Structure 1
Amino acid sequence: MQNNIQRYKCTSCNKTFSLTKKLNPIKIWQDYTEGKQSYKQLAEKYHCAVRTIQRYLLKSPKTP
């Protein structure tokens, strides 16, 4: 980790990269509740795992 940014390495081409785009828990919550999207749909939309979506929904602020 350099400058507190985690780096990843592609196993195919050995290039390294970092992910700088953070997911927005509020936007995920809105897509889930108002957009009626499933965990799987959200995971595909945000290019992450279903478990990541579950974690973000658990920690997102809930609006009444």
Structure 2
Amino acid sequence: MRLVAGWANQMRNFPLFRPIILSMLMASYLAFGASVFQLIEQPIEHRLQEKVDHLKAVFLEKHPCITGQ
């Protein structure tokens, strides 16, 4: 009794089939992990950027001889 379909049997004869599938799975796993990490860290990053911008504005007010570039 054969449990493997005809196209799957042909794919097994292709020597790069398994590394290509594993590479695609690894890339999708990494992309998913990166998107989850970005969603978790995004609010913290925005608050930190606002704080840095505020500190920069205060510093530039106290030191008018320095440009804001």
Does TM, scored on the shorter chain, surpass 0.5?
no
TM-score (norm 1): 0.24
From the CA coordinates, give the structure whose radius of gyration is larger.
2
- Name the structure with the higher helix share: 2
TM-score (norm 2): 0.23
- Name the structure with the higher strand share: 1
